[in-house]
């Protein structure tokens, strides 16, 4: 298993995604999935429209699910 940074360590593994943060970070960051399309299990079908994730560093709300990567 990949070593996660401290800021992501207390988030359930199945909710983590790596995103391109366009908020304050302007870098790749771990984010927490907070919404998934109805009827689509959180970990199935990435990338998929309808996902929402919050950057764990700056709180940026990502909805584009562009190049999201599961741990």
Provide the binding-site residues for Zn ion, judged by CB under 5 A. 21, 23, 25, 29, 55, 57-58, 60
Largest alpha-carbon pair distance within the chain? 32
Q: Look-up: residue for tokens 């994730």?
A: 53
Query: How far apart are CB 8 and Zn ion at their closest, in Å?
Result: 12
Residue 62 Cβ vs Zn ion, minimum distance, rounded to whole Å: 9
The Cα–Cα gap between 37 and 15 comes to: 14
Which CB, 11 or 40, lies closer to Zn ion? Answer: 11
CB of 25 to Zn ion, least distance (A): 3
CB of 23 closer than 8 Å to CB of 60: yes
């Amino acid at each position: 298993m990949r070593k996660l940074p401290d800021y992501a360590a207390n988030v359930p593994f199945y909710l983590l995604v790596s995103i391109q943060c366009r908020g304050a970070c302007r870098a790749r960051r771990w984010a927490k999935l907070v919404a998934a399309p109805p009827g689509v299990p959180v970990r199935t079908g990435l990338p998929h429209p309808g996902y929402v994730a919050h950057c764990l560093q700056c709180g940026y709300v990502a909805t584009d699910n562009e190049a999201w990567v599961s741990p």
